[in-house]
Amino acid sequence: MNTHKKDLPVRSDLRNIAIVAHVDHGKTTLVDTMLQQAHTFRANQEVQERVMDSMDLERERGITIMAKNAALRLETPDGEMKINIIDTPGHSDFGGEVERVLSMADGCLLLVDAAEGCLPQTRFVLGKALEAKLTPIIVVNKIDRQDARPEAVLDEIYDLFIDLDANEDQLDFPVVYAVGRDGIAKTNLADESDSLKPLFDAIIENVPAPRADVEAPLQMMISNLDYNDFVGRLSIGRIVAGRIKANSEVALARLDGTFKKFRISNLFAFEGLGRTNIDEAGAGDIVALSGIEDPHIGETIADAETPVALPPLTVDEPTIAMNFAANVSPLAGREGKYVTGRHLRDRLAREVLTNVAIRVEDAQEPDTFKVSGRGELQLAIIIEQMRREGYEMQISRPEVVTHEENGKLMEPVEQVFIDVPQDSVGVVTEALGRRKGNMTQMVNHGSGRVRIEFEIPSRGLIGFRSQFLTETRGMGLLNTLFSHYAEWGGPIPQRQSGALVADRAGNATPFAMANLQERGTMFVEPTTNVYEGMIIGENARESDLNVNIVKEKHLTNMRSSTADIAVKIVPPQPPTLERALEWINDDELVEATPKAIRLRKKVLSSNRK
C-alpha cells in the first residue's frame, strides 16, 4: 500500500501528529497550551492543568497512563487547518499504549527535556516512531530550566538518531525550542517569542498531509477504545481508505479472521478535548464511532461488501506477571463489592479489551488468573483501579515471563540507566552487582553526579527501586528499558529481612506494638484489625517471627494508661501497593481491598513450615 502512496490525493487541510517523550518531559502540558492558543477552550472556561490527564489516577500521580486524542484548528493563509493530536504516556510500563496509537499519525513531536536530555524512553519511542515512518519534529522543551543545556541535548538527539539507523531524510529533522508550560516556542534559541506559532508552523510545514484514497473500499484500524454513557462503546482509529458514514453498514474483520456486519450508529470527529457528531468522514481522518458490538483493538472496520482486513497490530511482549486471585483471607468480603473469582475473571477480561500490552490466562489454582504486562507499575495501576471500583483480590509476588529457546530457559534482560551523586556510586554498583547487574558504561560529568548503565535480568530489578531511593537518599534517578531475552542467569538473592507475623486475630494494641517495634518496622497502625498469618511488620532479622500484636497490658497501676504508651510508638510505615508488591516473597501475598493493603503469609496458621 505504501508504494502507491505518492499517487494518492492529499488532504491538505489536515495533519495527524503524536506527541512522544520520556516520562515527565512535558507532553501533556504542551498539549494544554497548544489547545489554549488555538482557542479550543471557550472564553472564561476554567481550565485545569494537564486537562488531557483526565483519569483520577493520572491526576493524582501526575503521569499519563492512557493515550488520548484531541484536535485543534489553526488559521493559515490557505484556510483553516485541522490538527489531530495524540498525547501518549511516557512511562516505560505504558510503552504498549504508545506503540499502538502511532499508526494514527503521520508525524510526531519528540519532546526532550533541555536539562535531562535523552533518556531510555526517548530512545524507545523514537525507535517506534521511526519504524512507523513518522516524520519527527524535535522539541527541546523546558529551556527555562536553570540547568537547561539545549545545545548539548540537541547533540545527544543527533547521536540517538544515528544510533537508531535513521536515514538521511529523518536526520534532517526540524528543531523547535520551547517552554511548553508557558506556551512559548522558537526556532532559534536567540529568537524572541511569546507564542507557540513557530511550533504550529513547523507542524504545518513538515508533517505530511495524509495521502489516502477516499474512493477505495473502507478500511479503518481500531487503535483505541472508549466508553460513553449515551452511546456505549466507542471504537477509535484512523480511516486508512474510503469513507465512513453514520448509520451505514460495515463489516468488522475480527482478529480470528472472521467477518461480522454491524451498523454504525454515531460517528464523531475530535474537536478540542471533546468529540462532535458528524455524518461522514474520509480517509486520513481520525474518528470515533459507536455501533460495533464488542470491538477489540487491532480489528479492521471494513467495507460491508468487499471487506479486507488491515495487517494486524503487533506490540512488544509482556515481561512481568503476577497471579490475581479471589480474596480468601479471614477479612475477605468486608470491604469490597466484588470478591469472587468470577468477578475477577469478568473484570480482567474487560481490561484486555482496552489494554493491548497485557495478557490474562487461567492459572493452575482455582479462581486465580495470571496477569502479564510490561512492568510492576502497569500492573499496580490495574490493581489500584480495580480496588477503587470495589474489587478485592490477593496478588502474588511479581515474576518475570520466561520462555524456552532451543531447550534453554530464557529470561528478559533490561538496561538500567542511573544518575547518582558521586558518593552513592559504590553502594549502588554493589547492590546491582549482587542482583547480577553488569556495568556497561560509566560517565562522570565532573558535576558531582555520575551516569552509569547496567544490563541486568529484569528479575534483579524487582524490589530494587525502593532500595535505590534509600541508598541514594532520594537523590538518584533510575530508568529502565527492556533490552533482550538471555539465558536464565541463575539465582538472585531475595529480600534480606523476614516478616513479623501476627500469631492470632484481634486488634493491634499500642502496648504490644511498643514492645515489638524494636524488632523491626511496623506496617500497621494501633487498633488495626489483624488475623493470624497477617504480616504486621518487617523483621530486622532474616527469619520470620510470630508475634502477639493484640496483647493487652494488665492494668495493675492506674497511672500507667495506654495513652502514655502510645506516645512512644514510632510511626508505623504501611507499605504502598507498589512497595508491598515488590517486598513480598514467594510464600506471601498482598491482599488488596477498597479500604486496605494488607500483607499475609500464604499459609496462615502460625505453625506453618
CA-CA distances (angstroms) from residue 16 to 110, 210, 430, 516?
Answer: 14, 8, 47, 61
CA-CA distances (angstroms) from residue 335 to 330, 331, 339, 383?
Answer: 12, 8, 9, 15
Residue 504 in the binding site for ligand GTP (CB under 6 A):
no
| Size, binding site for Mg ion by CB under 5 A | 3
Residue 90 in the binding site for ligand GTP (CB under 6 A):
yes
Residue 92 in the binding site for Mg ion (CB under 5 A):
no
Cell matching residue 352: 484486555
- CA dist 309 and 301 (Å) reads 8
Considering the complex, what minimum distance in angstroms separates the CB of residue 246 from ligand GTP? 33
Considering the complex, what minimum distance in angstroms separates the CB of residue 179 from ligand GTP? 4
CB 352 within 8 A of CB 400: no
Q: Considering only the stretches 86-94, 295-303, 401-409, 539-547, report the one whose residues sit in contact with ligand GTP under the rule CB under 6 A.
A: 86-94
- CA dist 589 and 294 (Å) reads 34
The residue (of 95 and 174) whose beta carbon lies closer to ligand GTP is: 95
Residue 101 in the binding site for ligand GTP (CB under 6 A):
no
Identified binder of ligand GTP from the candidate list 117, 180, 298, 437, rule CB under 6 A:
180
Residue list 50-89, contact with Mg ion (CB under 5 A): 64
The dihedral sign for the CA sequence 495, 498, 499, 501: positive
Residue 509 in the binding site for Mg ion (CB under 5 A):
no
- CA dist 42 and 506 (Å) reads 57
Residue 186 in the binding site for ligand GTP (CB under 6 A):
no
From Mg ion, ligand GTP, none, which one binds at residue 343 (CB under 5 to 8 Å depending on kind)? Answer: none
Q: Give 270's strand partners.
A: 275
Residue 13 in the binding site for ligand GTP (CB under 6 A):
no
Cβ-count burial 9-30 (b if 16+ within 10 Å, e if not): eebeebbbbbbbbbbbbbbbbb
Identified binder of ligand GTP from the candidate list 63, 71, 428, 508, rule CB under 6 A:
63
CB 537 within 8 A of CB 500: yes
Identified binder of Mg ion from the candidate list 27, 186, 397, 459, rule CB under 5 A:
27
Q: Considering only the stretches 140-148, 296-304, 402-410, 524-532, report the one whose residues sit in contact with ligand GTP under the rule CB under 6 A.
A: 140-148
Give me the torsion for CA of 206, 209, 211, 217, rounded to 10°.
Answer: 150
The residue (of 89 and 498) whose beta carbon lies closer to ligand GTP is: 89
| Cell 540507566 belongs to residue | 417
The residue (of 68 and 186) whose beta carbon lies closer to Mg ion is: 68
Q: Which residue is nearest to ligand GTP (CB)?
A: 90
CB 219 within 8 A of CB 242: yes
| Size, binding site for ligand GTP by CB under 6 A | 22
For Cα atoms 196, 201, 206, give the angle at the middle one, nearest 5 degrees. 130
The residue (of 178 and 550) whose beta carbon lies closer to ligand GTP is: 178
CA-CA distances (angstroms) from residue 126 to 54, 166, 237?
Answer: 25, 10, 21
The dihedral sign for the CA sequence 438, 440, 446, 450: negative
Considering the complex, what minimum distance in angstroms separates the CB of residue 23 from Mg ion? 8
Considering the complex, what minimum distance in angstroms separates the CB of residue 109 from Mg ion? 13
3-state secondary structure of 138: strand
From Mg ion, ligand GTP, none, which one binds at residue 275 (CB under 5 to 8 Å depending on kind)? Answer: none
- CA dist 583 and 231 (Å) reads 43
Residue 521 carries which side chain, given as an amino acid letter?
Answer: T
Binding pattern to ligand GTP, positions 449-468, x when CB under 6 A?
Answer: --------------------
Identified binder of ligand GTP from the candidate list 13, 55, 127, 144, rule CB under 6 A:
144
Residue 333 carries which side chain, given as an amino acid letter?
Answer: G
Considering the complex, what minimum distance in angstroms separates the CB of residue 26 from Mg ion? 8
From Mg ion, ligand GTP, none, which one binds at residue 180 (CB under 5 to 8 Å depending on kind)? Answer: ligand GTP
Considering the complex, what minimum distance in angstroms separates the CB of residue 353 from ligand GTP? 23
- Judged by the rule CB under 5 A, the positions of this chain that interact with Mg ion are 27-28, 64
- Judged by the rule CB under 6 A, the positions of this chain that interact with ligand GTP are 21, 23-29, 50, 62-64, 89-91, 141-142, 144-145, 179-181
